Structure formats: structure tokens, C-alpha cells
Chains A and B, each alone.
Chain A
Amino acid sequence: DVKVTQSSRYLVKRTGEKVFLECVQDMDHENMFWYRQDPGLGLRLIYFSYDVKMKEKGDIPEGYSVSREKKERFSLILESASTNQTSMYLCASSQWRGSNNEQFFGPGTRLTVL
């Protein structure tokens, strides 16, 4: 069974802390994505990567960075967490750079910043 796993289901951090969210996929997918999910706003793309060490900004990259050192792992970094980054974070992966490819999602990490 194909899987995208995220390091934590729930995380509580304090303002100003550096936060790492980890995502691992076992499908040998080229593309990986980080979204945040907020009520009434749907999913918004933060960053994505189409290859190892490659990254592109999504729609809301401010306050975030990413790292992809290995094909199966894509990390989201909050350099200095703020309360407005309290949200559900979803990682996804897909196979090709071509179109119409299904994205597979992890279960999400609910981050609370106090």
C-alpha cells in the first residue's frame, strides 16, 4: 500500500521556535508538495519540489522554507514560528511532471503555535 507519512500528527510550539515538519513517501515520486489547510480557505500551496534539491515557491511561501536532500523526504521549516502559522499542514507527492497525475496525501500535522 502506497504511503505518505508525516512525522507528527499534533505539534505544539512556542512563538519564535524553529519548527521542522517532515514528510516521507515510499512511492519513488518525483514531485512533493506542502500545503496548509485552514477553514474556509481550502488548501493553499506553500512550496513544492520536482526533484532532489529543487524547490519552487507556491502561493504562500512567506515565513517558510523547505529542504529536499533525498528523493523520498521533503521537509518544511518554520524559521521562527508565529501564531498565524497555527494550521493543519499536509504533505503530498505525485509521480510525474506531466499533467493529470494524482497527488497522494499524508494524514496531516496539526500545528499549534502559542
Chain B
Amino acid sequence: GDSVTQMEGPVTLSEEAFLTINCTYTATGYPSLFWYVQYPGEGLQLLLKATKADDKGSNKGFEATYRKETTSFHLEKGSVQVSDSAVYFCALEGVDSSYKLIFGSGTRLLVRP
């Protein structure tokens, strides 16, 4: 079945460092791909999404490109801030998944001043 694999955390960076969080997926067809973020004490919120191959989703300085050839959707940010400290979840909605999302295990990011 469909699945999502994320790099394990925690990822600890200094402020203004470059961030990459890896995400790869297994699915049939062309799933839609998402990144959700969970700030401490809160529920998840959508960060960005891409619905077809080579699409780039972007929001709040974060970017991710839908790479069909490598089945990846890595999250990047050029300069992280302390306020970016959170747990990041990669997710997919499969072609036949009936609007259900399949989540990766989450990657905790800690940004130090």
C-alpha cells in the first residue's frame, strides 16, 4: 500500500542555517503531496502542497518540489528561525485513497538562537 518515509529527528540547527527534511513516498499513480507543521501544543496545519509532478509548493520561506523520478518531496528552507521549531509531517493523498491522508512519522526541528 501507499506509504511515506521521513528522515528521523530531531534535527537541531542554529538560526539562519539551511534546512532540508527528506521525504520519500511509495504510491501508485500520481498522489498529491503535503507538508504539515505542528507547533508545540497545537494541532497540525498545512504548510504547503503539490498536486502533480514538478510542482513546487511554497509558503513562509519553505519550499518542496514534487519529484516523480525519485518519488521525493523534500522540505527546504534557506534560513531557519527559532520560531520554525516544530514537528514537520510529510503526507500523501493517493489516487484511490478517498481523500484520506497517509502521514510520515514526523521530524522534530529544533532551532537554537
- What is A's interface to B at a CB cutoff of 8 Å? 4, 31, 33, 35, 40-45, 48, 50, 56, 58, 90, 92, 94, 96-108
Q: Which residues of B contact A56 (CB under 8 A)?
A: 98
- Chain B, residues 35-46, CB within 8 Å of chain A (1/0): the string is 010000111111
Known A-B contacts: A42-B104, A58-B100. Give 16 more (CB < 8 A).
A41-B105, A42-B4, A42-B103, A43-B101, A96-B99, A98-B99, A99-B51, A100-B32, A100-B49, A101-B99, A102-B46, A103-B44, A104-B45, A107-B43, A108-B42, A108-B43
Give chain A nearest CB distance to B1 CB in angstroms.
Answer: 9
Q: Are B46 and A100 in contact (CB under 8 A)?
A: no
- Chain B, residues 70-113, CB within 8 Å of chain A (1/0): the string is 00000000000000000001000100001111011110000000
Chain B residue nearest to A6 (CB atoms) is: B43
In the complex, what distance in Å separates the CA atom of A40 from the CA atom of B104? 9
Residue total for B at the interface (Cβ-Cβ under 8 A): 22
Known contacts A42-B89, A99-B32, A100-B51, A107 near B103 by CB under 8 Å: no
Q: Which residues of A contact B100 (CB under 8 A)?
A: 33, 45, 48, 58
Q: Which residues of A contact B49 (CB under 8 A)?
A: 100, 102
Q: Which residues of B contact A96 (CB under 8 A)?
A: 99
- Chain B, residues 42-70, CB within 8 Å of chain A (1/0): the string is 11111001010000000000000000000
Give chain A nearest CB distance to B76 CB in angstroms.
Answer: 21
